[in-house]
Structure 1
Amino acid sequence: MNILLVVATEGEALFFGALVAEVAVTGIGAVNAALGTLQAASGSRPDLIINVGIAGAFPQGSLQIGDVVVSSQITYASMGAENSNGSFLDLRTLGFPLHGTFYNQLPVWSQAAQVAEMLNLPAGEMLTVDTATGTQTSLERLQSCHPEALTEGMEGAGVAMAGLRLDVPVLEVRGISNMVGPRDRESWKIPLALKNCREALDRLLAVVQDF
């Protein structure tokens, strides 16, 4: 299976470059991720695109810093409109799909849940945001809109959109570097999150070759 790994930064690429897969560095954010993935995948035509890196975990869940998570759904949580009362209107409410029949919720590889179970990794909804959460108010708004969400990142939806346009399945795999909420940069454990993510990805790459 031909696999393309998509990362946001050169620092992340250093952790994953030794794996047996092509690595594309796109820059941060969903727009960069979509454009960079399209550019990289249009030449190599991968069978599977995996977005890897770090993420924040929502405190209402059971995830801890250093855990590794696999996506069962990628949600572009930032895309929508603010109502006059301050509530959030998603794309389905507004009547504007992102692509085809897909609104904020974007599909992942059909074998994602099976692979996560084989590797004993948690799987769930992973949010993509344009602005990383830094206040309790923002955290509570996201949690109220997405009570089942496990993580927050900034690129997954962009990679998923590129996959839809290329008709290539996408998976998001991230190591937890911090908890979502009031910003406390000193508590982040980025090296630990990337180390654990690389180890999980190494096992994942071996498993997916059988699909």
Structure 2
Amino acid sequence: MAALGDQSEAPPPPPDQQAMASQNKPISNIVIIIAMQTEALPIVNRFQLTEEPNSPFPQGVPWVRYRGTYKNLNVSLIWPGKDPVLGVDSVGTISSALVTYAAIQTLQPDLIINAGTAGGFKAKGASIGDVFIVSDCAFHDRRIPIPVFDLYGVGLRKAVEAPNLVRELNLKVAKLSTGDSLDMSQQDESSIIANDATLKDMEGAAIAYVAELLKVPAVFVKAVTDIIDGDKPTAEEFLQNLAAVTAKLDLAVEKVINFINGKCIAEL
């Protein structure tokens, strides 16, 4: 038994108190998670990040960490890398969930930023090049038509509330729906409409799930590359607009990080 006044065996504060403390602590350690190399490299260059030669991740995984300091922030950008067999970007929910979990466990960030491109619905007000902050994330391709399991499949989760950031940077706010396919089946479309989503991507809700599970706030910055309810094939429009829209994403991420610098979560 510890002597009176000895705090060496004092229990940690309750989770609610820990969460409150983290909300009011200045943000100093940010992890940016980006699915594609084309999306990642402009941000790497803008913040003068360098690739970590000694990966903190398990041997054999293709995940890449870029790191550096910017103003008062330690910044890491995690890219899931290229598929070891096919050599394409490791897009989708599985890679994103894995790298998010590994990054949180290894780097202990104060905040996660998932930056990337997305499809948008013109019927919901999206246009090519628009940049959104995401308010809610859900899945549209996890259909489990059993009571309660259906809600688990949708997996609705809220991003960190950032009203000051949205107002200061004059960004649009939208709901995001996530699935593992670039195209959209009729069933997917029905689920996306049910999710009231303006945006569709292949990572966000998976990152939101892991971030909530491990109690790390997450901000989602999405730029529109293709109009889902437009008249052009999705893959063609996505590739046509990727470079130009990635440049807009890069600028938006810089503005977001400049706003975050010196603030705590509660001030976002």
TM-score band, normalised by shorter chain: 0.7 to 0.9
SS in 1 for 2:123: coil
Gaps of 5+ in 2: 1-26, 48-69, 81-89
- TM-superposed deviation, 1:53: 1.0
Hey, what does 2:159 align to over in structure 1? 108
* TM-score, reference length from structure 2: 0.67
Alignment of 1:16-165 (within 5 A): 16-18=43-45, 19=47, 20=70, 21-26=75-80, 27-81=90-144, 89=145, 93-94=148-149, 97=152, 104-111=155-162, 113-134=163-184, 137=186, 140-146=189-195, 148-165=196-213
Kindly provide the amino acid, as one letter, of the partner of residue 105 in structure 1.
Answer: L
* 1:143–1:149 contact (8 Å) kept in structure 2: yes
Q: Deviations over 1:89-116 (max 9, x none)?
A: 4x86436637xxxx621121132x3312
- TM-superposed deviation, 1:165: 2.4
SS in 2 for 1:60: helix
In the alignment, the residues of structure 2 paired with residue 95 and residue 138 of structure 1 have an alpha-carbon distance, to the nearest angstrom, of 14
In the alignment, the residues of structure 1 paired with residue 159 and residue 130 of structure 2 have an alpha-carbon distance, to the nearest angstrom, of 20
- The percent of aligned pairs where both chains have the same amino acid is 22
* Range with bigger deviation, 61-70 or 7-16: 7-16
Hey, what does 1:6 align to over in structure 2? 33
Structure number with larger C-alpha Rg:
2
Gaps of 5+ in 1: 82-88
**Across the two proteins, how many residue pairs are aligned to each other?**
196
In the alignment, the residues of structure 2 paired with residue 95 and residue 159 of structure 1 have an alpha-carbon distance, to the nearest angstrom, of 20
SS in 1 for 2:118: strand
Hey, what does 1:84 align to over in structure 2? none
* TM-score, reference length from structure 1: 0.83
Kindly provide the amino acid, as one letter, of the partner of residue 110 in structure 1.
Answer: E
In the alignment, the residues of structure 1 paired with residue 139 and residue 188 of structure 2 have an alpha-carbon distance, to the nearest angstrom, of 15
* 1:77–1:104 contact (8 Å) kept in structure 2: no
In the alignment, the residues of structure 1 paired with residue 189 and residue 35 of structure 2 have an alpha-carbon distance, to the nearest angstrom, of 27
* 2:38–2:246 contact (8 Å) kept in structure 1: no
Hey, what does 1:196 align to over in structure 2? 248
* 1:176 and 2:224 are equivalent in the alignment: yes
Kindly provide the amino acid, as one letter, of the partner of residue 258 in structure 2.
Answer: A
- TM-superposed deviation, 1:200: 0.8
- TM-superposed deviation, 1:184: 3.8
- TM-superposed deviation, 1:78: 1.7
Q: Deviations over 1:96-148 (max 9, x none)?
A: 637xxxx621121132x33122211101211111212346x3574245323x3
Hey, what does 2:237 align to over in structure 1? 187
Note the aligned Cα RMSD (angstroms): 2.2
SS in 1 for 2:180: coil
